[in-house]
Chains A and B, each alone.
Chain A
Amino acid sequence: MIASFLLRRVALSLITLGLLSVIVFMAGRLLPGDVGRAVLGPLADARSVANFNHQIGADRPIPIQYWDWISHFGNGDMGTSFVFRSAVGPFIGDALANSLKLAALAFIIVVPLGVLGGVAAALNVGRLADKTITLLGQTLGVVPEFISSIVLILIFGVWLRWLPMSADWPDGAGPLTQIRYLILPSLPLAISFFGYIARVARTGTVEALDADYTRTAVLKGLPRFTVLRRHVLRNALLPTITVAASLVGYLAGGLVVVESLFHYRGIGSLIYTAAKAKDFPMLEAGVLTVGALFALASLIADMLSALLNPRLQPGART
């Protein structure tokens, strides 16, 4: 049952990715009208524009161009950058590795804090602590990342001088130094997700506290802490893990802003620089990579919730 569910889920993600690739391709090749003109600018002469279009194959029929692009993509060839005149693939690989470091740190910071906040709120439902945590999470979640970055840089970089203001660490820096340089950039990302994770953890905990198995455990005379740990938290945290996994895809939006602001060479700043330079092959590859990442993350999230949900276990009676 899980297998057929997952198979259907994978097929759907592939359809979504295929459609995304068409949209991305159309945005990159059709919207600018004349790609050569868009890239070379209004001052370039007509001959070099035509030459450029011929070079990149923009003078061929659209379906052929798309097929050419996507079939190369499938073989791991992501195209050639207009700006660097070299293969896009290695740029994407390096950027992705850097972004994963930053994202991992943000998650290490925000998941425990969010869960802690959510559980604390759930244990105090309706009281001041609950309202404060909920309001704080909501507020922090809507502030754009560049604003929280600016405030954090002013406090920790400029006034207190505790942390470096850019993520550009010196060459040969060890892992600890790298983490030190990444703390400030990871905080705005963590801040924007705190409320989301806290809310899911709160809802899960409130439901688990209300459940029959919790009442049974309490009536059995188990100590409060044991009930919390063994019955409430274990059930409350499953949805939280699922949500955290699905957040990975959304993270990329924040990465664009944060990585550009902190001069960090990740997938977000790669997309941003490519958009600035109208380097469409790079931009398309970057956007498609983010889409694939998102699809993968939500697939993992669905798998986790399927695996953790007792009703979907093999042999379960439904």
Chain B
Amino acid sequence: MSTSIRADRLRAASRSVTLLSGLTILIFWTVCALFGGALVRMDPFADDLLRTLTPPSAAHWFGTDQLGRDVFSRVVVGARDILTVAPLATLLGAAAGTILGLVTGYFRGPFDAVASRIIEAIQAVPLVIVALLALAAVGTSNLTVILVIGFVFTPLIGRTVRTAVLTEADLDYIAAARLRGDGAFSIMFIEILPNVMPLVLVETTVRFGYAIFFVASLSFLGFGIQPPSPDWGLAIAENYSLIGSYWWVVMFDALATASLVLGVNLAADGLQSVLE
């Protein structure tokens, strides 16, 4: 018996370790995103054509890029755009997806069937490709990236919420609410929504991880955050051809992206096991 208690404690500890380390990374980059400009000694946009592509040194910790800009400052400030676009896209998808899930799960019927087919059709193509198609059509800006990712997330989050709503809708308290004469709107948003909220929260954090992944990938492909932003994916795309001789112009941006993605996923994982 004592071993099982210890195992439980260990599990709880490892859970919180996951959540805490994820949150620490996430908070670190959020601080960089919010106050990065004030934290760095050098202007991330100031070029210095006499000091281009210098290797890491005491003056420039991460070296300088093709235009002589300080890579360290750019990496710190580079958190800003991805940490604006990805959360907004996720929130949009979560809000619209939750509504979609509530409505399709509650009303079922033909509307639900049609929505399911359309979701399957969109899911038949990887998200990056759907986003490329949409962004090629509407043009790329931070706003369109937010809208496209939010739009693509909507059916995915909606489907998860719908499954939960389907089980909730069969429970007695819903029948009771109906007998009381509550309208569909108040049943969906006042009765069902609070009960599926933990699931929505978990789904949203998981999707946030994907959003970071997509925004970074799209920016690398030139369909995400646009110059002159010091965004990491964008910086890697701009400097990638120099990788053979000047590793520092891509490596720190790559490590920053990897750490952010990891942080978000650790936090999502930790949150998931804490809530379950």
Which positions in A face B, CB cutoff 8 Å?
Answer: 15-17, 19-20, 23-24, 27-28, 31-32, 38, 138-139, 142-147, 150-151, 153-154, 157-158, 165, 249-250, 252-254, 256-257, 260-261, 271-272, 274-276, 278, 280, 283-284, 287, 290-291, 294-295
Contact = CB atoms under 8 A, between A and B. Distances in A.
B128 A256 contact: yes
Interface string B246-264: 0100110010011001100
Interface of B: 117-118, 120-122, 124-130, 132-138, 209, 213, 216-217, 220-223, 233, 236, 240, 243-244, 247, 250-251, 254, 257-258, 261-262, 265, 269
A146 B220 CA distance: 8
Contact of B126 (A31, A142, A153, A252): A252
Given A165-B244, A278-B136, A253 B128 contact: yes
Contacts of B138: 31-32
Contacts of B125: 20, 252, 287, 290-291, 294
A260 B236 CA distance: 13
Given A144-B216, A144-B261, A253-B127, A20 B121 contact: yes
Contact of A250 (B126, B223, B233, B258): B126
Contacts of A15: 117
Residue of B122, B128, B130, B247 contacting most chain A CB atoms (<10 Å): B128
A interface: dominant SS: helix
Contacts, number: 135
Given A138-B265, A291-B124, A272 B250 contact: no
Contact of A275 (B135, B216, B250, B258): B135
A283 B131 CA distance: 12
B interface: dominant SS: helix
B251 A144 contact: no
B53 to A, nearest CB: 15
Given A145-B217, A275-B135, A276-B222, 6 more contacts: A19-B117, A154-B243, A256-B129, A280-B136, A290-B129, A291-B124
Nearest to B127: A253
A121 B126 CA distance: 29
A249 B70 CA distance: 41
Contacts of B122: 20, 23
17 contacts: A16-B120, A16-B124, A19-B121, A27-B133, A27-B134, A31-B138, A138-B265, A146-B220, A146-B236, A158-B244, A253-B127, A253-B129, A254-B126, A256-B129, A276-B222, A287-B125, A287-B129
